[in-house]
Structure formats: structure tokens, C-alpha cells
Amino acid sequence: MEFTHLGRTGLTVSRLCLGTMNFGPHTEESDAHLIMDTAHERGINFFDTANAYGRDSEGNLKGRTEEIIGRWFARGGGRRERTVLATKAYAPMGEWPNQGRLSALAIRRAVEDSLRRLNTDHIDLYQMHHIDRDTPWEEIWQAMEVLVAQGKIIYVGSSNFAGWHLAQAQESARARHFLGLVSEQSLYNLLDRAVELEVIPALQHYGLGLLPWSPLRSGLLGGVLRKEREGAAVRGATGRAAEILAANRDRIRAYEDFAAELGTDPAHLALAWLLARPAVTAPIIGPRTPDHLDAAIAALDLELDQKTLDRLDEIFPGHRPAPEDYAW
């Protein structure tokens, strides 16, 4: 396993981050525990979850994923000590006021609930799952400072922030002499490259690590057309993903053909491309089985030369930083 620092911090994390959103809805608890044990065996020390993960088919049982992780920690054997644990808060966890978003009260309650479900006394990376436009940064940072002082969280991160949200957050934290954000989770893959306009330049300026989510775009970059030809079911190729597939079928076909020319799996190529991108700390992978996990780890051995990177840019055009992308 390869390791790096999370953004400008001294925290050491694996170049792949284990995403746990499937734990509960798609992966049974015993299998989830096996996947986490396998991740440690393979050297992955960075796990990501969220308080809202774990819904059932009717949208109930939020927090179930954190509970699965908490019961895994309870088995001991250094599981908690060897894990850099990241979770998130923002989504409503109930219908009553202050059971979601980022008021100081909501943050305090969300942290306490996550600590209980996760069976731990602290969260290593506490992330805001979405921007809260109704709560001032002074309130958010005051709440986070209290939690850091109490030892309940160590670092703060964001998810799904725009570039100007990152700037707002960091300048407000700087005025308070607070570390502020250390990472951002964004949708980023070969099909979704909008963060290259302003988010990645902001991350590089402020020294934040980038944790791309959906690196395979719901499986569309994992050989979806090949699987179609083979008659294999593709769980992600429904709903919005089906629309994206229909609009990008020619490009995805060219991509799969190129992967075949290189003699590699499309999923490995997509992950290797992200690992080569500036500011990326660790793509978040969401394996449903140990075999899926091992397949993702294989991407670490794939090195892409400039000719390969240029060809991928031809298939999936990216963005230059703004404003040069759309002006001079």
C-alpha cells in the first residue's frame, strides 16, 4: 500500500480510502466486517462513513452503517487504533428541528450520536456533508473548536463544497487562528471533471487534500458495456446513471476499447487516473465484497505515462482552471 499526507497535515493515510456506504443496504454486517479486516490486511488505514448512511428500502435506519463499524471496532485487536476514521454530518436524522444541518446545536448532537454509534471516543476527520447556507461560519467554527478542545474530533473536512465555499471557510478559520478544513470530498472522475475549474485550484491554494467520491461513476467506468455484452447485471446503471450512460455511450465505448489496448481493466484505469491527478489524496472506493476491494487495490500498480493521460483527455475532455477555461 502507498501512503501520503492528508492535505497540508502530518496525518498519514493510505492512497485508497475505504468507503462504507454499501454497509447495511447492500453488504451484510458479517461481510462488511470481513471487508474492513481485509482492508487492514492490505494496508488501507483510511475509512470513510457518514451518519446518514445505512438507510433501508423505506429510507429508515439512518446511522446503521456507523453502528456496523462500531461493532467491528468493539471486536478489538487494534481495529480502532489502526484506523483513521472519517464520518460526516448534515443530512436530517429525524423530522424534528435541529436534527440536521450545521447549527452549533445540530453539530454537537450529531457528533455525540456518531461517537455512540461508532463505539469510539473521538473522530479523526469530521466532515460537513454539504454547505449550510443558513449558518454563519463563526458559529460553525466555534462549534468545531469546542469539539477539538474536548478531544472529540481532531480534523475538520468538507464535502460537496464549491470553490468559493472553501475560500469562505478558510478565511474565516484563519481569522480565528484555527486550522480550518484539511480536506474536501467531491464528485470527481473521468466523466465528472467540473471540480477542475475552481475547486481543485482552491484546494491547492489552501493545502487541502481531495477525496474523490464515485471514482467509477456508479460503475459506468468499470466496464459497463463489456458487462452488458456478457449479460451481467450492472447495479449502478439505472436511474441517473442510465441517463449518463445513454448520453456518453460512444465515449465510454472508446474508453473501454482503450483500456483493452493497454491490457488493463477499465476500473483500474479510472482509479489510476485519479491517483495521478493533482491534489488527490485518496479516491473513495466502495467495495461490496473482498474481491472488489482487491480489484481496486490493483490500480495502485498501474502507472500512466503522458501519452496515456493525453488519450484519456481526448476521450473525456477536462477543464483548465477558471477563468482561462472559458475566457482568456
Cell reading at 35: 471487508
Distance separating alpha carbons of residues 15 and 247, to the nearest angstrom: 31
**Would strands 17-19 and 46-48 be described as parallel, antiparallel, or unpaired?**
parallel
Q: Ramachandran region of residue 128, left (φ > 0), alpha (ψ -120 to 50) or beta? A: beta
Give the chain's end-to-end CA distance (angstroms, integer). Answer: 42
Distance separating alpha carbons of residues 112 and 173, to the nearest angstrom: 23
Distance separating alpha carbons of residues 218 and 209, to the nearest angstrom: 23
Distance separating alpha carbons of residues 231 and 239, to the nearest angstrom: 19
Asked if 166 and 186 touch (Cβ cutoff 8 Å), the reply is no
CB-facing half-sphere around the CA of 120: CA atoms within 13 A: 28
Q: Count other C-beta atoms under 10 Å from residue 195's C-beta.
A: 23
Catalytic entry in 53, 126, 188, 206: 53
Residue 53 is a catalytic residue: yes
Positive or negative, the Cα torsion across 256, 262, 267, 271?
negative
What are φ and ψ of residue 161, in 5° steps?
-90, 145
3-state SS, residue 280 = strand
Task: Give residue for cell 424534528.
Answer: 96
Catalytic residues: 53
